[in-house]
Each structure stands twice: as C-alpha cells, then as structure tokens.
Structure 1
Amino acid sequence: MKLTFAGTGSAFCMAADNFQSNMVLEAVQPGSDQPARMLIDCGSDARHSLRNLGYMPNDFDAVYISHLHSDHIGGLEWMALANYFIFEGHQAKLFAVHDLLEPLWEHSLRGGLQISDQGNNSLSSYFKVNELSPAKGFDWQGVHFDVIPVEHIVTSQGTMLSYALFGHGKKQSFFLTTDAIFNPDAHMPLYQKADIIFQDCELGPRHSGVHAHYEQLVTLPADIKAKMWLYHYQAYPKPDAVADGFCGFVEPGQSFELG
C-alpha cells in the first residue's frame, strides 16, 4: 500500500510547485497487477495536482472526504462531471461520514450537478455513496480504517469537526490527522498507537487556532515527533524539522510505502 501526496500546501497555497493537501492511496490485491486507488480529499486544485501525477478522474476506485472546506471538496464537481460526461459514467465510491453528506450535496454540489442532460440528478447519480459511522469505520481493499472525529474549528457558537483516518495496514498503521487543532490530550493515544503519523502543520507568524502550529508541535515528546511527518503548510520558510526531532516536511509528490 502506497500513499502519495498530490500536494502538501494549505488551503490558500499559491506556490507554483505545490498544491492543496490531497492524497492518493494505492493498494494492489493478490492476483492483480493494477492498483486500486482512493483519493483522500478532493480540493479545488485536484484537476491540476492529479494531472501532475499522471492521473485522470476515472483512475480512482474511491474518494474519502474528511470535511467540507473547499481545499478538501472543491474538486468534486469537476470529478463528477468529468466522469459522467467524458469517462462513460464512471462512478467512484464516495466515503464520507453520514453527517457530511446532506450539506455536501445541498450546500456545495447541488447548484452545479443537479441539472444535467438526463434531468434532475442527486449525489448518487455521480458517486456510489457510502455513508460512514465513526463508530464502525470502513474497509477498502483489505485495509480497515478507523474514522476519528477531530476538532477543527472551535468557537462559542459551535464546533466544526474533521474526520481523521487511522489506517491498519498489514505491516504498519498510520494516523492521518486531516485538519485538526493542536489537541495532544485527545490525540496522544492515536499518536502512540500509530507507526507513522501525518500531521497537518501551520507555519508563519500567525496562529490561526484551526490547525496545529509548528511551535506547538515541537513541544510533543521526542518519541512521537520521531514518527511524525508534517504537511498542510503555508509557503513560509520551513524550520529544520529533522533537527527538531520530526521525520521532516512532506514534499509535493512524495510517496510512502505503508505495507
């Protein structure tokens, strides 16, 4: 199983050599020479970042959506219409927590996707919709994924959750935070259990409070930092993460063999 970062940038990344933090997970089943691919989040940059890796919309068996910000769902309309009109109606499985599906359609996709040459459509006209429960997680290509609610935006008026992934690979497990505040008390059991951690990380002078900032992450125990890769960063000069005990910053296009 291989995880490739189509981009490692933040929501507003405009670096010419980077894109938003969406990932391609590949798995090859015994007896097959072709990998199945799951796109983890599909942001506004996806049509460019995926082409940069050599992929087309119909190259994906599945898409996982962690939450409803545009750097995570902004490319879904493109993917849906390209598969519908160009690639003979190819439908990928759409994995998303139940609570995300109605607002995803009603508030993000319906305006561009409901009316087509066949009349009125729904989300299931374009994707094989799989409603997820965080209590159960889901299985894909022989791998089980725990779906972990993590706090992303916390205000006095409410909390926006993102749904992190904990993948149980055959040889090693991994924790992918998606978008999360710095919350070591809540995340420490997952940090400790994982063999490798992919942690969203802010850079720069401003602490937004909606992502973990490098200055916060550097305070984590040494054994946790030693298995942690940092991604979802802005185009500021990067600190020497290796010297500070981390595995490093993920580079655009970098792949990881997860077993």
Structure 2
Amino acid sequence: MKLTFAGTGSAFCMAADNFQSNMVLETTPSGDEQSQRLLIDCGSDARHSLRNLGYMPNDFDAVYVSHLHSDHIGGLEWMALANYFVFDGHRTKLFAAHELLDPLWEHCLRGGLETSDHGNSQLSSYFDVVPLFAENGFDWKGLHMDVVPVAHIVTDENTMFSYGLFGHGKKQSFFLTTDAIFNPDAHMPLYRKADVIFQDCELGPRHSGVHAHYNELVTLPDEIKAKMWLYHYQAYDKPDAVADGFCGFIQPGQSFDLG
C-alpha cells in the first residue's frame, strides 16, 4: 500500500510545479492482480494533477471526500461526467461522512449533474455512494480507516468539520489530518498512536486560523515532530523543517510505503 501526493499546495496554490493537496492511495499488486486506487479528495485542479501522475478518472476504484471546500471536491463534477461520457459509464465508490452527502449534492454538484441525457440524476447516478459514520470508519482493500472529525473553521455561529483519516496499515499506522486548525489537545492521542503523521501546514505571515501554522506546529514535542510530514502549504519560502525536527515538507508526487 502506498500513498502518493498528487499535489501538496494550499487551496490557492498557483505554483507551476504544484497542485492542490489531493492524494492517491494505491494497493500493491501481487501476481496478476490489478492495482486498485482510492483518491483522497478531488479538488478543482485534479484533472491536471492526476494527469501529471499518469492517471485518468477511470483508474480509480473509489474517492474519499474529507469536506466541501473546492480544493477537495471541485473536481468531482469532472470525474463524474468524464467517467459517464468518456469511460463507458465507469463507476467509482464515493466514501464520505453521511453529514456531507446531502450538501455535496444540493449545494455543490446538483447544478451541473442533475440534468443529463438519461433524465434527472442524483449523486448515486454517477457514484456508488457509501455513507460513513465516525464511530465505524470503513475498510478498503484490506486497510481499515477511522474517520476522524477535525475542526477546520470555528466561529461563534458554527464549526465546519473536515474528516481526517487514521489508517491501520499492515506495516504502520498513519494520521492524515486533511484540513484542521492547530488543536494539540484534541489531536495528541492520534499523534502519539500514529507511526507517521501527514499534517496540513500553513506558511507565510498571515495566520488564517483555519489551518495549523508552521509557527504553531514547531512548538509540538520533539517525538511528535520526528514522525510528522508537512503538506498543504503556500508558495512561500519554506523554513528548514528538518532542522526544526520534522520529517520535512512533502514534495509533489512524493510517495510513502504504508504496508
């Protein structure tokens, strides 16, 4: 099992050599088995980042949606229509927290996907929809993943959650934060339990308050930083993360063997 970062940039990344932070989880084939791939988030520039890795929409068995910002779901219309019209109706599973499914369709996808040549459609017309519940997690190709609600945007009126993943691999476990505020009290049990951590990390002079900023992450205990990789960064000059105790900044196209 390996995890490849199609891009490592923030939502507004404009770097010519980087894309939004979407990932490909791929089974390691044995014998004549065909590789199976789970796309973790499908952002607005997914058609470019996936093509850069040599993948087409029909190369995926499933897609996981962490939350409803466009750098995580903006490519789903493209994937749905490309699979339907270009790739002979290829269907992928769509894994998402059950709380996200209605707004994903009603507020994000319905306008472009409802009216089609086969009549009025719904989300299940294009994807095999699998609602997820945090207390159960889900299994994919022998890998169990816990679904972890993490606070992303916190206001007086509401909290927007992103749904991170804690994967239980054969060789090692991993915590993928997706998009999360700096919340060490809530995340520390997962940090300590994971063998490797993939942490979204904001750079630059402005702290948005919706992602963990590098200046906050650098205050974490040394034993946590020693297994933490950083991604979802802006195109600013990067500090020396290794010198500060981290594993480093993930590069676009970088892969990790998860067993």
What secondary structure is seen at the aligned counterpart in 2 of 1:233? coil
Measure, in 2, the Cα distance between the counterparts of 1:156 and 1:61: 39
Measure, in 2, the Cα distance between the counterparts of 1:173 and 1:30: 21
Is contact 2:2–2:28 with CA below 8 Å preserved after alignment?
Answer: no
Which residue number corresponds to residue 80 of structure 1? 80
What secondary structure is seen at the aligned counterpart in 1 of 2:256? strand
- Give the counterpart letter for 1:166 in structure 2: F
Which residue number corresponds to residue 125 of structure 1? 125
The CA deviation at 1:31 is 5.0
- Give the counterpart letter for 1:84 in structure 2: Y
Which residue number corresponds to residue 48 of structure 2? 48
Measure, in 2, the Cα distance between the counterparts of 1:186 and 1:156: 19
- Give the counterpart letter for 1:210 in structure 2: V
Deviations 1:31-66 (A, max 9, x none): 543210000000001000000000000000000000
Measure, in 1, the Cα distance between the counterparts of 2:23 and 2:96: 16
Measure, in 1, the Cα distance between the counterparts of 2:208 and 2:254: 26
Is contact 1:138–1:144 with CA below 8 Å preserved after alignment?
Answer: yes
What secondary structure is seen at the aligned counterpart in 1 of 2:229? strand
Is contact 2:203–2:214 with CA below 8 Å preserved after alignment?
Answer: yes
Which residue number corresponds to residue 38 of structure 2? 38
Is contact 1:3–1:24 with CA below 8 Å preserved after alignment?
Answer: yes
What secondary structure is seen at the aligned counterpart in 1 of 2:154? strand
Deviations 1:187-234 (A, max 9, x none): 000000000000000000000000000000000000000000000000
Measure, in 2, the Cα distance between the counterparts of 1:197 and 1:38: 19
Which residue number corresponds to residue 136 of structure 1? 136
Measure, in 2, the Cα distance between the counterparts of 1:29 and 1:96: 26
- Give the counterpart letter for 1:145 in structure 2: M
Is contact 2:43–2:73 with CA below 8 Å preserved after alignment?
Answer: yes
Is contact 2:22–2:42 with CA below 8 Å preserved after alignment?
Answer: yes
Q: 1:220 to 1:196 in 2, by over 3 A?
A: same
Measure, in 1, the Cα distance between the counterparts of 2:193 and 2:36: 26
Structure 1 segment 199-210 matched on structure 2, within 5 A: 199-210=199-210
Number of aligned residue pairs: give it. 259
What secondary structure is seen at the aligned counterpart in 1 of 2:79? helix
Measure, in 1, the Cα distance between the counterparts of 2:89 and 2:211: 37
Deviations 1:94-144 (A, max 9, x none): 000000000000000000000011110110010000000000000000000
Is contact 2:225–2:246 with CA below 8 Å preserved after alignment?
Answer: yes
Alignment partner of 1:93 is 2:93: yes
23-32 vs 184-193, which moves further: 23-32
Measure, in 2, the Cα distance between the counterparts of 1:179 and 1:32: 37
Measure, in 1, the Cα distance between the counterparts of 2:161 and 2:169: 25
Measure, in 1, the Cα distance between the counterparts of 2:122 and 2:30: 35
Which residue number corresponds to residue 227 of structure 2? 227
Q: TM-score scaled to structure 2, two decimals?
A: 0.99
Is contact 1:29–1:141 with CA below 8 Å preserved after alignment?
Answer: no
Q: What do you get for the CA RMSD once the two structures are aligned? A: 0.7
Which residue number corresponds to residue 239 of structure 2? 239
Which residue number corresponds to residue 59 of structure 2? 59
What secondary structure is seen at the aligned counterpart in 2 of 1:256? strand
Which residue number corresponds to residue 251 of structure 1? 251
Structure 1 segment 111-190 matched on structure 2, within 5 A: 111-190=111-190
Segments of structure 2 that go 5 or more residues without pairing to the other structure are none
The CA deviation at 1:28 is 3.2
- Give the counterpart letter for 2:110 in structure 1: R
Which residue number corresponds to residue 212 of structure 1? 212
Deviations 1:58-95 (A, max 9, x none): 00000000000000000000000000000010010000
The CA deviation at 1:4 is 0.3
- Between the aligned residues of both structures, percent identity stands at 81
Q: TM-score scaled to structure 1, two decimals?
A: 0.99
Is contact 1:45–1:75 with CA below 8 Å preserved after alignment?
Answer: yes
Deviations 1:14-36 (A, max 9, x none): 00000000000001365543210
